[in-house]
Amino acid sequence: MSVPGDLLISVSALAARLAAPAAASGGAGAGGTPAPTVLDVRWRLAGPPGRDDYLVGHVPGAVFVDLDTDLCGAPGAAGRHPLPEPAALQRALRAAGVRDGHPVVVYDGGDGTAAARAWWTLRWAGHRAVWVLDGGFPAWRDAGHPISTRPPDPEPGDVTVRPGALPVLDAAAAAALAAGDGVLLDVRAAPRYRGETEPVDPVAGHIPGAVNLPAPGHLDRAGHYLTPDGLRARFAEAGVADGVRVGAYCGSGVTAAQAVLALHLAGRPDAALYVGSWSDWIADPDRPTEPPRG
């Protein structure tokens, strides 16, 4: 099974591209490949803001992009991190220097979730040339590569947002997968899936029929993605087989985006994201939950 080679980039490969002679002027990098636009998307669900970490130190030339306000819509009935309005997303990406046809590298604080949601959003918006920095900022720092504290002043980009390039699940489609039309993966921690605890949303439990496959298992202990074979074996244990439709959800579509990236690495580019996820599902009191509400 072929696996796309344009999903992850190592810190050494990124360093080589950024150090190429033409990189400083925005021209071609190593081997004639354009030097990438680098986006820092560090984020924590409970704060503090990722910008604080960015200002302490970041990959030289990286532009900070806020997951909550730049890459997602305002929270509401559609979930805590709904799809962004295309025109607003286009403005944010252009302000960060993203250009049509020009490669982008995204990184986060190391758990891979925010970077995966940034990757997914750019790909959904029609920008295919996006890599996730494997291991995130910790891998860059620990390898001894340069760190900057000065935010750059990027030249405005010209990217055009063309939404719909990746499959999206709504509540009805997610329910169909969970009911046996495929496999719906719930990638939250097992106690949240079982309804034993719910630290974020007002209702505990899961979508009936969903299969629990906690997201941290997509990475090894060093914070790097498992090999494609390792990921395929992990997904197979959850019932994901060739020809079986698959989608993923979490609390609000951030951690689930990492599962979708892992599924792409495993050779499943058809994997769909339930963007609204649990925070959207429970907004309708008529939707069933397991265990039942109340």
Which residue numbers are catalytic? 250
Backbone angles phi, psi at 24, to 5 degrees: -65, -25
Q: How far is it, in rounded angstroms, from Cα 291 to Cα 210?
A: 12
Are the C-beta atoms of 75 and 221 separated by less than 8 Å?
no
Strands (E), the chain: 8-9, 37-40, 63-64, 104-107, 130-133, 168-169, 183-186, 211-212, 246-249, 272-274
Q: How far is it, in rounded angstroms, from Cα 190 to Cα 196?
A: 9
Are the C-beta atoms of 260 and 273 separated by less than 8 Å?
yes
Are the C-beta atoms of 237 and 244 separated by less than 8 Å?
no
Structure-token pair, residue 150: 């000065």
